[in-house]
Structure 1
Amino acid sequence: MPADSAPKYKKVLLKVSGEVLMGDQGYGIDMATVDTVAAAIARVVKGGTEVCLVIGGGNIFRGLSTAAADMERASADYMGMLATVMNALAMQNALEKIGVDTRVQSAIPMAAIAEPYIRRRAVRHMEKGRVVIFAAGTGNPYFTTDTAAALRAAEMGCDALLKGTSVDGVYSADPKKDKSATRYEHLTYQDVLSQNLKVMDAAAIALMRESKIPIVVFSIREEDSLRKVLKGKGTFTVISDLPAPTA
């Protein structure tokens, strides 16, 4: 690979929101969208980048939210964790259809369908070029999949946490509701916390700050966006403790 096309990040954790996998549906899994995301991951893996994933469960749990409204928080959170396992299996299927070796590791033991989460085993899988999908969050209620993504990124020694969403970065307000919202090119971890920006929960931001792992927020719906972000190109927001680059 020519030097000018070498990826900026060699080992990354990709956090994909469950809502992305809905496609244009109200909830559930749109396999065409899953296949598109899988193809984007396959391109960067074949380019030599080590990739692991955490996928949210909002696309499935949204359809169950009414039923869960009167449940205790812990039970509802476990339901959400099970939704992430379903998404992980769908993504594993899509990746393996196009020749990418994939392993699903679950924080909740499910021996029939996934490996248990073992850090050293996950590291070894990635060294062998396999994509590892971390399912079931942290295995504990009261923690989001954002926190799980931050935790796994730190444990795997990732160079960056890439958050693939439906928008192309972090905005001052919801750009779908407020047309005057402005997009940030760069933020510090403290900016996110002090301005209460809805990027990731505070526990995830704090862990990334402690681990000195930058967070890159981009739209995974845009064509070839993942590959561009890995090269430091395209449209995205970087969250780190480094000062914003000068023009």
Structure 2
Amino acid sequence: MPTFKGKSVLVLGGSRGIGAAIVRRFAGDGADVTFTYAGSRDAAEKLAEETGSTAVQTDSADRDAVIARVRDSSPIDVLVVNSGIAIFGDALEQDPDEVERLLRINVHAPYHAAVEAARQMPEGGRIIVIGSVNGDRMPISGMASYAVSKSALQGLARGLARDFGPRGITVNVVQPGPIDTDANPADGPMKDLMHSFMAIKRHGTADEVAGMVGWLAGPEAGFVTGAMHTIDGAFGA
């Protein structure tokens, strides 16, 4: 029997890459899946048709829009927050407005989405946020704001795990390393540098990340909470 038959799943940021793999994983396992997208309408509509899921446009930089989307989708059994952006460059030269937008998407949205989901989430619900190994390790310059945002998710998971634990709701962070997506292709210009840090010298796949998310959302992970789950080929080891 499908693991998630009869379960309601909301994925924030699900139209491409890791998010799309997560949507496919839950839909394939029988869940009723809704996912959000920002600008990738064509990709979102194609994925929704392929998987039988529902795509809704939501700007994760807009706190009120994120809260409203979660509220309108509730009660949900599983919330996955995958939406995120990165900006690159010298911290002394970055546009402060762009840094603020990154923090709204990467930190504020996961926090407010998790809190709103928990208001109506049934006992034993699951909240999973996609972070990054860069929350633990940043071996190159020019990504300080991204590293700050991903480290913040660790505190989010530890704190909300205690707040929601009495109801059996778990809160976890999945921390990918280099994953083969449009944003970080396996044959991209940074591959040799990234692989030089790794024990397994290849990019991971979006399906591998989705597999970890699926396990954390399932019955075997009911005692796993407030934790970081790194999937990075030992990039951060």
How would you bin the TM-score normalised by the shorter chain?
A: 0.3 to 0.5
TM-score of the aligned structures, taking structure 1 as reference length: 0.42
TM-score of the aligned structures, taking structure 2 as reference length: 0.43
